[in-house]
Chain A
C-alpha cells in the first residue's frame, strides 16, 4: 500500500463506491454482495492466523459459537444481538485461549496444530447437535422473528444489512492493517520462521500467538453471528465442523492469504464462481460446480500458493528481492 495521500484518496473513493453499491444492484445481486462481505470478514479473520503458519482447520468452531450464542440469547432471554454478538465473540476468544494456550505453551505446531483445531471444530459441531433441546440439533434453528427491527438486528431490506456487514468487514481490514503495520507482523513472521530463534531474540512467542489467535477467532465469530442473523437460519453442518472449516481455509488461500485484500478476493472468487457455475449448470448437475471448485483448489495450492492476489502482485510488480512476507518454501530434501 502506498501510504501517500493519493493512495488514501483512492481508498476512500473505493469505500464510498462499496457503500453505494447496493443502490445499483437488484435484490439477487444484493444478496450475493452481503454474502461476499460477510465471508470476506471470516476469511480475513482466518488468514490473520494462516499467514503466520498457524493453520487452523477448525475455524468452524468459532463460526459456530458466533452464530449460535446470539441466537440462543435472543430466543431464550430476549437479549439483543447487539449484546449477544460481543458476548459470542468473547466466548469464541475464550474457547480459542483455552485450547490455544496449552497448544502454544507446549509447542504444538504444523500437522499437529492443524489436527487439534480440526478436532475442536468437531467438538463444537457435536456439542451443538447434542444440545438439541435448545439448538434443534441437526435440524437447525431460527432466531425468533419480529419483523424489521434494528434492535433484533433483523433487517428486512438487504441494503441495510449490507451496510452492517460492510462495517464489520472494515473492522477486519482495520485489524489486518494494525497487525501489518505494528510490531506484531515482524515478530509473528519471525515466529513462523523459527520459534526457538524468535524466542532467543526476546520475542514473547506465547503472547504474540495468543494475541493473533484472539483477533482471528473474534472476527470469525463476528462473521458467523452476522451470517446467522442474515440468513435467519442456523444448522450445525453449515456453521461448524470440518466441511465449513475447510471451506474457510481454501477460500482464503485461493484469494491469497498474505495480502490484506486476498481473503476478500477469495470470497468474491469462490462465491461468484459457485453462483456462476450453478447458473451455468442449473440444477441438473448438482455437484458440478463444486467438482470444478475442488479441482481448481488443488491447482491453486500446487501452482500458486499465494493465491490470486499473490499472482497478480507478482505480475504487476517489477522483479525485486523477495520481501519478508514471502512464503518460505522449504528446500527440497
Chain B
C-alpha cells in the first residue's frame, strides 16, 4: 500500500478521535435535554481562549489552565441552560436551536471585543512522531486517547452512578421521571455542566493543534453537528462511529483531492445519509 495513503488513514483515525471528543458533549445535551446547542463550537472557542489566556498571560501551568478551561466550559454550559434554554424549554425545538444561535453571535463578538481577531497560539510545538516513513502528530495522538478516556469515563458515569442513571432515565421518559422523584431541573443543569465541561476538554486538546481566533467555531462547528446527526442525535456510540467515518472521508479524500473537495465529499455524504437514514447509522 502507498505509504502516504497509510499516513492519511492513520491521521484520519486521529482526527476521528478529536471529532468524537467534540461530539460527546453535544450528543449528551441532545440526548438528555432534547436541544441542539448551535453555540457548542463557540463554547469550545471560549474555553480555548481560557487556556490561552491563563497559560500565556498569567503563566499558569498548562495542566492547571486546562483544568480551568474545563471549568469555564462547564460554567458556560450551565449559563446557556439557565439563561437561554430554561425559559423556552416548552417552545418549539427550532426556537431553542435559534436562541442558542443568537448566543453564537454573542460569544463570537465578545471574543472579538476582548481578544481581537488575531490568531493566537500557545507557542508550544509538540513533536511529530516518525514511525518508519509515517509522520504522526503527537498532539492528535493525545487528543485521540483523551477522546477514548473521556468517552469511557462518561460511559461509566452514566452507567454506574445514581446521577448517571437518573440522567439516562430522564432521556428516556421525562414525564415519568418527575413522578419518580427525580428533580428534572437539577438533572438538566448538571447535564449542561457536563456537556460544557466536555466542550472545555475538547478545547484543551484543540488549542494544542490550532490557533485560536473568534471565528474558529465556524470551521469545526458544522462538522461536529454532522457527526452527531450521522450517529443519531443523542446516540454516543453512533457518534463515535460517525466521527471515524467522517474523518476517514476527509483524510483519505484529502489524499486524492484538495482538502476542500474532501470536506465537500463529507458534507455530501452526510446529506445523503440523512435522507437515507434520518435516524442515524445506529438508529433503529
Contact = CB atoms under 8 A, between A and B. Distances in A.
A291 B106 CA distance: 5
B278 A331 contact: no
Contact of A241 (B89, B218, B233, B278): B218
A106 B275 contact: yes
7 contacts: A55-B97, A115-B226, A118-B225, A249-B101, A287-B214, A302-B87, A329-B90
Given A99-B271, A111-B93, A246-B101, A130 B264 contact: yes
A253 interface: yes
A285 B113 contact: yes
A110 interface: yes
B152 to A, nearest CB: 28
Interface residues of A, number: 53
Interface string B30-49: 00000010100000000000
Contacts of B263: 122, 126
Interface in A93-109: 99, 102-103, 106, 108
A115 B229 contact: yes
B98 interface: yes
B105 interface: yes
A112 B274 contact: yes
A298 B99 contact: yes
Interface string A32-64: 000000000000000000000101000000000
B93 to A, nearest CB: 6
A58 to B, nearest CB: 10
User: Most chain-A Cβ atoms within 10 A of its Cβ — which of B89, B98, B175?
Assistant: B98
Interface string B165-186: 0000000001100000000000
Interface of A: 53, 55, 99, 102-103, 106, 108, 110-112, 114-116, 118-120, 122-123, 126-127, 129-130, 241-243, 246, 249-250, 253, 285-291, 293-298, 300-302, 305, 327-333
B95 interface: yes
Contacts of A115: 36, 225-226, 229, 274
A130 B89 contact: no
Nearest to A101: B275
Contacts of A285: 113
A126 B95 contact: no
Given A111-B94, A294-B107, A301-B98, A126 B267 contact: yes
Contacts of A242: 218, 221-222
B241 interface: no
B95 A301 contact: yes
Contact of B260 (A120, A129, A293, A297): A129
Interface of B: 36, 38, 83-84, 87-95, 97-99, 101-114, 116-117, 174-175, 214-215, 218, 221-222, 225-226, 229, 233, 258, 260-261, 263-264, 267-268, 270-271, 274-275, 278
A52 to B, nearest CB: 12
A67 to B, nearest CB: 18
Contacts of A55: 94, 97-98
B100 to A, nearest CB: 8
B99 A108 contact: no
B112 A286 contact: yes
A112 B113 CA distance: 33
A288 B113 contact: yes
Given A126-B267, A291-B113, A302-B99, A111 B261 contact: no
Nearest to B174: A333
B110 A287 contact: yes
A286 B116 CA distance: 7
Contact of A123 (B92, B95, B104, B267): B267
Which of B99, B102, B271 has the most C-beta atoms of chain A within 10 angstroms of its own C-beta?
B102
Contacts of B90: 329-333
Contact of A112 (B95, B116, B175, B278): B278
A128 to B, nearest CB: 9
Contacts of A297: 101-102, 105-106
Contacts of B114: 287
Nearest to B114: A287
A300 B214 CA distance: 23
A114 B110 contact: no
A282 B161 CA distance: 53
Contacts of A249: 98, 101
B95 to A, nearest CB: 6
Nearest to A332: B90
A295 B83 CA distance: 11
